Structure 1
């Protein structure tokens, strides 16, 4: 798995590319490639989690104009090895 971090600035031109971007994300989610995604609570960027290898992630980034749109910066991506999220005791999460 890979996590992709984005940063947003005040350039609202990115909003024009967002509908097509979200359609792509919906397809990737339906295929099982996108695990989850969402903006930071303060609106300064977003985090996306993909089930793919590095070449696959690079293809995803290259194929989506949103990632190079004005107002969007790809901060970076990293390989990620998540823990089992249903192990609430280990994660110290309380329902």
Structure 2
């Protein structure tokens, strides 16, 4: 699994791009690619958990969504994560 961390700054471009981005996340959740996603409560960023086989697949998910290159959105970290089997 992969954790994607985003940082937000103010700006109308980010807010305008957000509805299409959220629709995409819902579709990716339905197919099992996105396990969880959401903004931090202070709206300074967000966290997305991807269930993909490797870094190239995580990068492909990011590249397919223009939100990740929208002014006001920065991908600050992409790291592999192994959850505990609880």
The answer to whether 1:23 aligns with 2:23 is yes
The answer to whether 1:39 aligns with 2:36 is no
What's the TM-score, normalizing by structure 1?
A: 0.85
Aligned residues between the structures: 85
Pair member with larger Rg: 1
- CA-based RMSD of the aligned residues comes to 0.9
Structure with greater contact order relative to length (CA < 8 Å, sep ≥ 6): 2
- The alpha-carbon deviation at position 12 of structure 1 amounts to 2.5
Runs of 4+ in 1 over 4 A off after TM superposition: none
What's the TM-score, normalizing by structure 2?
A: 0.93
For 2:35 and 2:9, locate their aligned partners in 1 and report how far apart those are by CA, in whole Å. Answer: 25
